[in-house]
Amino acid sequence: MDARLNYFASPTAGKIFKHIMSAGKVLKDSPLPAATQELVALRVSQINGCAVCIDMHTKEAAAAGETSVRLHLVAAWREATVFTEAERAALELAEDGTRVADAAGGVSDAVWAYAAKHYDEEQLTALVVLVSIMNMTNRLNVIAQQPAGDYEPGQFH
């Protein structure tokens, strides 16, 4: 399958992605735990059906030491016992923040309070920005039908 657009050949996309990658670096350096970041990125990408990002974040998480059991269970995190309460709170906020149109009002006060119980304001800020950026990048890739499967960990670092 060929992508509809070649973002790497586009001067406009190159300028935009430079800023997106810079924002990603800021997030990686934020106080939000790296494992939580990868789990959230993976879950948002699963919801949006973004194969490129699922490929990328599964491989990045595995390269960072994440277990295959946890990676396989992200899609069913509510029933899985392998996630901490903090990770569960982040995953719930990520789901509600991704399914804004379906969630009848977006992230509820209860979901926000649950996340705020586990993360300070700086971590919550990073979490909200991460969910937002992942939704944007998922849409860029899904719309252009970017093929997946050949990502190598660290490829964009």
- Please give the backbone phi and psi of residue 135, each rounded to the nearest 5 degrees, phi first: -60, -40
Q: Which CATH architecture group holds 32-143?
A: Up-down Bundle (1.20)
Domain boundaries, the chain: 32-143
How far is it, in rounded angstroms, from Cα 130 to Cα 38? 10
Helix (H, G, I), strand (E, B) or coil at 124: helix
| Residue 34: HSE in the Cβ half-sphere, 13 Å Cα cutoff | 11
Of the candidates 114, 123, 91, the residue with the CA atom closest to the CA atom of residue 27 = 123
Q: Following DSSP, what letter does each residue of 81-104 receive, concatenated?
A: SSS-HHHHHHHHHHHHHH-TTTTT
Cα Rg of the chain, angstroms? 15
User: Is the overall model pTM greater than 0.85, yes or no?
Assistant: yes
Query: pLDDT digit of tens for each residue in the chain (157 aa)?
Result: 789 998 989 999 999 999 999 999 999 999 999 999 999 999 999 999 999 999 999 999 999 999 999 999 999 999 999 999 999 999 999 999 999 888 677 899 999 999 999 999 999 999 999 999 999 999 999 999 999 999 999 887 6
Tokens for 81?
């016992």
The number of beta carbons lying within 10 Å of the beta carbon of residue 5 is 14
